[in-house]
Amino acid sequence: MLLIALLLAAAPKVERVDVDLGGVGHTKANAVRRLMTTRDGTLLDEETLRRDVARLRSTGILYDVEERTFAGQNGARVALSLKDRWTLLPMFGLRRGGGEQQGDDEHPASLGDGSGLPRREIGSRGA
């Protein structure tokens, strides 16, 4: 118990989390801070900070995420440098495909279009 108290006393508090955003600039610094567990005034935990940086990298909207921690006047300062990749430019893509499906394995006599309607032969009369 005493060991835990000593370790907690030795861990510096987070004085401030600075966010330097580059890129398109649609993402706000407060939005980045909301994704983090490490906050101003909390004890600095290296494992939590590592998970925070991994979470920021895995969002898909941020890239070049870099973290630096250094001593401040009243504790540790965490500096994040990152870029956002939001864009309003349209994305175009091409797909190949086509052809005609004559039925499926479960309903071989169906139209094959997912409607479940039976296929009618030309010249036959339905009931």
Q: Where are the domains of the chain?
A: 10-84
Residue 78, strand partner residues: 17, 69
| Predicted local confidence at residue 7, as pLDDT | 47
| pTM, rounded to two decimals | 0.59
CB 80 within 8 Å of CB 69:
no
Which segments of the chain does DSSP mark as H helices, in order?
2-10, 29-34, 46-58
Q: Which two tokens stand for residue 40?
A: 């101003």
**Mean pLDDT over the full length of the chain:** 77
What are the Cα distances from residue 13, in Å, to 7, 67, 71, 104?
12, 17, 10, 63
Regions of the chain with pLDDT less than 50: 2-3, 5-7
Report the half-sphere exposure of 117 (CA within 13 A, side-chain side): 7
| Predicted local confidence at residue 24, as pLDDT | 78
| Predicted local confidence at residue 94, as pLDDT | 62
Does 3.90.45.10 match the CATH number of domain 10-84? no
In angstroms, the CA 101 to CA 113 distance is: 7
